[in-house]
Amino acid sequence: LVMAAPRSVMRAVRVFQFGGPEVLKLQSDVLVPVPKENQVLIRVHACGVNPVETYIRSGTYARKPALPYTPGSDVAGVVESVGEHVTAFKKGDRVFTLETLSGGYAEYAVAAANRVFPLPDKLDFRQGAALGVPYFTAYRALFQKGCAKAGESVLVHGASGGVGLAACQIARACGLKVLGTAGTEEGMNVILKNGAHQAFNHRDPNYTERIKECTGGVDIIIEMLSNVNLDADLQLLSCAGRVMVVGCRGRIEINPRDTMSKESSIIGVSLFLATEEERHECATAILDGIEAGWLRPVVGLEYPLGEVAKAHEDIIGGSGARGKMVLLL
């Protein structure tokens, strides 16, 4: 029996200079990475696309990778091989990751074993690629940083994207009153199917008044676009309410007095700063949710690896999200 030699080169997206979507170059002769100690090599079936990857690519983000690099962190696929001391995974296991070391927009990716988790059979690889950053971020924003409790109200601002839908599902399952906003009728329908009790169109000029009328004030706001919404968010909060800043694309002017009148808080959320214990807590909650059946990632637009530049254009300039954007390999 002649065994096929493992592939030594692969297709991967490489970025050689910071800039617009056109700097994403698909190459077919990139070396397949070799897993070192405590690392796992994954044959990638799907990779999530996150807004933060467009900021990093453009060179405007606080963290800049050394050039050239391959973007992408949310990978789902099958373990190809493992490095020394890895006992939790073996070749052939279905897995998803939160973060890769070599970049996820590629046919193979290396990840630290402690950032890799088993992908339950209930979910396909596309859904697996929608788990990592969105669900871990949503759980961290709600509970680890936002201290959400059953019975409180949460407004998910921009709820039809990956993090937003994750926040709606998690908050609903944990006993919160869930309100969500989206920019299209279709987005609002998706939100209502995924845990929101009420949906509002954030393109409607009076939508904040309508939220105030129906709540009197919300306890927590999960905010994806704080450079647009933060000033209005402070008016929407109840006493001791908190705005969780998950996404931002620029500066905004606010009046700090608005926080004094209600003793409210503005809290930044960065999954990058989570401790090992916090990541473990997120993973446990997420895997429990999948098992229980309420956690079902919604996959939105899908692109082949060759159309990665279009994916980056659409995630920032699109008309409105409806689920998690993924690259398929």
pLDDT digits (tens, 9 = 90+) for 83-100: 999 999 999 999 999 999
pLDDT attached to residue 1: 60
CATH number at residue 236: 3.40.50.720
Query: 288-291 — which CB contacts under 8 Å span 24+ positions?
Result: 289/169, 289/170, 289/173, 290/120, 290/122, 290/123, 291/120
Same domain, 161 and 103: no
Same domain, 304 and 238: no
Same domain, 30 and 146: no
pLDDT attached to residue 62: 85
Question: How confident is the model over 101-155, as pLDDT tens digits?
Answer: 999 999 999 999 999 999 999 999 999 999 999 999 999 999 999 999 999 999 9
Same domain, 24 and 47: yes
Same domain, 195 and 124: no
Backbone angles phi, psi at 222, to 5 degrees: -95, 110
With H, G, I as helix, E, B as strand and everything else as coil, classify residue 5.
coil
In a domain, 48, yes or no: yes
Radius of gyration of the chain from Cα atoms? Answer: 20
Same domain, 32 and 75: yes
Question: How confident is the model over 49-62, as pLDDT tens digits?
Answer: 998 999 999 999 88
The number of folded domains in the chain is: 2
Same domain, 123 and 142: no
Same domain, 216 and 268: yes
Element (H, E) at 41: strand 39-48
Structural domain range at position 265: 134-272
Same domain, 192 and 254: yes
Return d(Cα 231, Cα 63) in angstroms, integer.
Answer: 26
Question: How confident is the model over 69-87, as pLDDT tens digits?
Answer: 999 999 999 999 999 999 9
Q: Kindly report whether the global pTM for this prediction surpasses the value 0.95.
A: no
In a domain, 177, yes or no: yes
Same domain, 40 and 65: yes
Residue 29: both structure tokens together: 């002769």
Mean predicted confidence (pLDDT) in 22-44: 97
Same domain, 141 and 119: no
